[in-house]
Amino acid sequence: MAGCLLVLCTQVRASAPEQPLALSEVAGLALQEQPLLAAQVAQAAAAREVAVAARQLPDPRWRFGLTSLPVDTFEFDQEPMTQVVIGVSQPLPAREKRHQAGLRAEREAALKELGMQASRNRIVRDARLAWLDAYQAEAAQAWLKRIESELMRQVEWSEVAYKTGQVAQDEVLALRGRLASFRDRIDEQHRRSGRARAELVRWLGEPGRRPLAELPGEANWQPGQGVDDRIDGHPDMAWAQAGVALAEAEAGQARAAYRPDWNLDLAYGLRGGDRPDFVSVMVGVEWPLSPGLRQDRQLAARLSNLEASRHQAEDRRRVLHSELEVALADWRAARDRLARLESEILPLAVRRVDSALTAYRTGQRGFGQVQEARRAELEAGLAGLELRVALARARVVIEYLTEEGP
């Protein structure tokens, strides 16, 4: 009995419809187990480890061997200079060099972390746009099917009307051609729907295959005040400024390269025959001999890279401002067109259908005019869908450009 209940419960769960995927869920789902973000987290962690290692002294070098061993007898105590030598050599790079190397690694880690935040924002934006593309493609298919039904009725009516002499044959053929062309449009929309779904699954994984919820309303949403001022706080700008900071650290490394490096060498020599042992202490220095050919050129290259990073940051700021202006223009245009469609075009389309029906009932018009009016009404409804999606797309882009992100 218990087994039967378990099987029944499993069947009920399996047959239960999936919860529709809402646009509000997309951000959270897109950021879960995202391979790109996981890779960037690992890269940032690696850079942090390198920053710690870069500030440490190099490992010492140990030496062990024999010196001045006579080859005629190979006796250890024959000659006074024969000895077993144990030594250690410790490189001592300039402290400023180690500091600058660690600073550069830290700023590279910060660059990767800020790049990860910028990637999070782009992922959310692209996933939301993918949801809107999939919604529009699938909703448009339903509208196109309804229009196809109206065209099929027109063709059927025209064939009957042709037999009774109400229309000419060329009109029947024209309607058939229009229906065939419209079916090509349906096939193309089906292709777009499949591509849009594939893109949504790319961002969300398996949840991207769920049926989609209704498009949320945009009537009460407005861009905030002073949206242009928020560009400087965008994650892409923080990432660009981190690139400038990294270039500054690399220039600091190039300046530190003028400082000499030191080396400490300590050796202990053991001799046989009751002879005293030897201790050797050596201090070496690596001094730049040709700074004009090496250090000066390296510093000039780093300063040029720093100037390039500053220009790239300014270019990124201008690109973001331009994208925001375009998105705001798209939002205003879609808002105004949708308002006109709902207040003027759609009511006129409905009135045209009513007028055609009245004329048909009184024998003043044929049924073809009724079908054409209905098709025009459906086309207006499809245009309304496209405008609502365009309004939502503009909002997604504006929010991406003016919010700090998730």
Query: Is the pLDDT confidence value at 13 over 50?
Result: no
Looking at residue 155, its pLDDT comes to: 73
Stretch 384-406: mean pLDDT, rounded? Answer: 84
Lowest mean pLDDT segment, chosen from 5-9, 76-80, 87-91, 261-265: 5-9
* 218: its two tokens: 């945009």
Assign 362 a pLDDT band (cuts: 50, 70, 90): low
Query: Is the pLDDT confidence value at 31 over 80?
Result: yes
Q: Domain boundaries in the chain?
A: 33-402
Question: 37 or 172, which is more confident?
Answer: 37
372-379: long-range pairs with CB below 8 Å, 24+ = 372/154, 373/349, 374/150, 375/147, 375/150, 375/151, 375/154, 376/349, 376/352, 377/346, 377/349, 377/350, 377/352, 377/353, 378/143, 378/146, 378/147, 378/150, 379/147
Stretch 158-178: mean pLDDT, rounded? Answer: 71
Query: Is the pLDDT confidence value at 7 over 50?
Result: no
Per residue in 208-254, pLDDT tens? 899 988 888 776 777 766 677 778 888 999 999 999 999 999 999 99
- Cβ atoms 327, 398 nearer than 8 A: yes
Looking at residue 66, its pLDDT comes to: 86
Assign 12 a pLDDT band (cuts: 50, 70, 90): very low
The whole-angstrom separation of Cα 38 and Cα 48 is: 16
Assign 312 a pLDDT band (cuts: 50, 70, 90): very high
Alpha-carbon radius of gyration of the chain: 38
Looking at residue 390, its pLDDT comes to: 93
Stretch 346-373: mean pLDDT, rounded? Answer: 72
Question: 191 or 354, which is more confident?
Answer: 191
Q: b/e per residue, 391-401, with b = 16+ CB within 10 A?
A: bbbbbbbbbbb
Assign 185 a pLDDT band (cuts: 50, 70, 90): confident
Q: b/e per residue, 185-197, with b = 16+ CB within 10 A?
A: eeeebeebbeebb
The whole-angstrom separation of Cα 118 and Cα 325 is: 20
**405 — phi, psi (to 5°)?**
100, 175
* Percentage of the chain exceeding pLDDT 70: 88
Return the amino acid letter for 320.
L
DSSP one-letter string for 94-144: -HHHHHHHHHHHHHHHHHHHHHHHHHHHHHHHHHHHHHHHHHHHHHHHHHH
Assign 8 a pLDDT band (cuts: 50, 70, 90): very low
Q: How far is CA 66 from the centre of its chain?
A: 62
- Cβ atoms 44, 112 nearer than 8 A: yes
**303 — phi, psi (to 5°)?**
-70, -35
Supply the mean pLDDT for the chain.
84
Stretch 105-127: mean pLDDT, rounded? Answer: 91
The CATH fold of domain 33-402: Outer membrane efflux proteins (OEP) (1.20.1600)
* Percentage of the chain exceeding pLDDT 90: 33
Looking at residue 167, its pLDDT comes to: 64
Question: 16 or 136, which is more confident?
Answer: 136
The whole-angstrom separation of Cα 20 and Cα 325 is: 33
DSSP state of 59: P
Assign 10 a pLDDT band (cuts: 50, 70, 90): very low
pTM equals: 0.78
Sorted by sequence, the CB contacts under 8 Å of residue 342 that are 6+ apart come out as 384
Looking at residue 405, its pLDDT comes to: 47
- Cβ atoms 271, 279 nearer than 8 A: no
The whole-angstrom separation of Cα 347 and Cα 220 is: 22
Looking at residue 367, its pLDDT comes to: 61
Assign 286 a pLDDT band (cuts: 50, 70, 90): confident
Lowest mean pLDDT segment, chosen from 151-155, 202-206, 214-218, 281-285: 151-155
Looking at residue 4, its pLDDT comes to: 47
Looking at residue 70, its pLDDT comes to: 84
Question: In which residue are the tokens 């493609």 written?
Answer: 137
Q: b/e per residue, 15-34, with b = 16+ CB within 10 A?
A: eeeeeebebebbbebbeeeb
Sorted by sequence, the CB contacts under 8 Å of residue 158 that are 6+ apart come out as 167, 171, 172, 175, 368
Stretch 315-325: mean pLDDT, rounded? Answer: 92
Lowest mean pLDDT segment, chosen from 42-51, 143-152, 185-194: 143-152
Residue of 385, 391, 376 lying closest to 336 (CA atoms)? 391
- Cβ atoms 200, 130 nearer than 8 A: yes
Sorted by sequence, the CB contacts under 8 Å of residue 397 that are 6+ apart come out as 125, 129, 323, 327, 330
Question: 352 or 383, which is more confident?
Answer: 383
- What is the side-by-side order of every strand in the sheet holding 278-286? 61-67, 83-92, 261-270, 278-286
Assign 363 a pLDDT band (cuts: 50, 70, 90): low
Looking at residue 67, its pLDDT comes to: 85
Query: Is the pLDDT confidence value at 44 over 70?
Result: yes
Assign 129 a pLDDT band (cuts: 50, 70, 90): very high
Question: 74 or 393, which is more confident?
Answer: 393
Query: Is the pLDDT confidence value at 5 over 70?
Result: no
Sorted by sequence, the CB contacts under 8 Å of residue 367 that are 6+ apart come out as 157, 161, 360
